[in-house]
């Protein structure tokens, strides 16, 4: 609590004991938490860097292993390719705001039995989930 007293025409401000104790406690907490904050910040930065590096490494290993498996399937002729029937259609937006759909007959599309695209073909697991392909015009 602040009190103002007049001493010889000057205003002076006196602080109560509880306010001084609060300030001292705040100073002590700031002194303790400053190094703690720095350690936490360093730990979180390190965690993010290690996490991102791990994700990149796992993805690179998966890509390399997938490539080796695909090459071994091609050389031993163990069905590296598959076929999925896909329906394509065009969605044409007209000036009136309506959309006109033009459907093409279903066609068989070649795909690859792999995790990632290989040899210019889409993976079969992706085509089996996306049998209708829309083209917006």
pLDDT for res 15: 55
- 129 has a pLDDT exceeding 70: yes
pLDDT: is 74 or 54 the higher one? 54
Average pLDDT of the segment spanning 26-46: 79
Where in the chain are the domains? 12-78, 79-136
Percent of the chain predicted with pLDDT > 70: 81
Cα 5 to chain centroid distance, Å, stands at 61
Q: What are phi and psi of 95, to 5 degrees?
A: -65, -30
Q: How far apart are CA 16 and CA 49, in angstroms?
A: 49
pLDDT score of 25 more than 90: no
Residue where the block lists tokens 């070649």: 110
In three-state secondary structure terms, 2 is: strand
| pLDDT tens-place string over residues 79-115 | 889 999 999 999 999 888 898 899 989 999 999 999 9
Residue 5 in this model has a pLDDT that exceeds 70: no
- Position 50 scores a pLDDT of 97
Residue 27 pLDDT greater than 50, yes or no:
yes
What does the DSSP assignment read for 66-98?
HHHHHHHHHHHTS--EEEEEEEEEEEEE-TTS-
Rounded-to-integer distance, Cα 84 and Cα 106, Å = 10
Supply the pTM of this predicted model.
0.62
Alpha carbon 9 to its chain centroid, in Å, reads 66
Q: How far apart are CA 80 and CA 110, in angstroms?
A: 11
Structure confidence at residue 56 (pLDDT):
98
pLDDT digits (tens, 9 = 90+) for 40-54: 889 999 999 999 999
Token couple for 54: 């791990």
10's CB contacts (< 8 A; 6+ apart) are none
Q: What is the pLDDT of residue 133?
A: 86
């Amino acid at each position: 609590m602040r009190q103002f007293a007049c001493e010889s025409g000057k205003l002076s401000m006196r602080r109560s004991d509880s306010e001084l104790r609060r300030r001292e406690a705040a100073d002590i907490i700031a002194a303790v938490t400053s190094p703690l904050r720095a350690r936490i910040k360093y730990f979180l930065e390190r965690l993010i860097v290690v996490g991102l590096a791990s994700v990149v490494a796992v993805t690179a290993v998966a890509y390399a292993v997938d490539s080796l498996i695909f090459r071994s399937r091609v050389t031993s002729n163990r069905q590296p390719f598959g076929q999925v029937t896909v329906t394509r259609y065009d969605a044409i937006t007209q000036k009136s705001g309506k959309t006109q759909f033009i459907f093409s007959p279903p066609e068989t599309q070649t795909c690859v039995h792999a995790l990632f695209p290989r040899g210019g073909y889409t993976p079969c697991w992706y085509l089996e989930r996306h049998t209708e392909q829309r083209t917006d015009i």
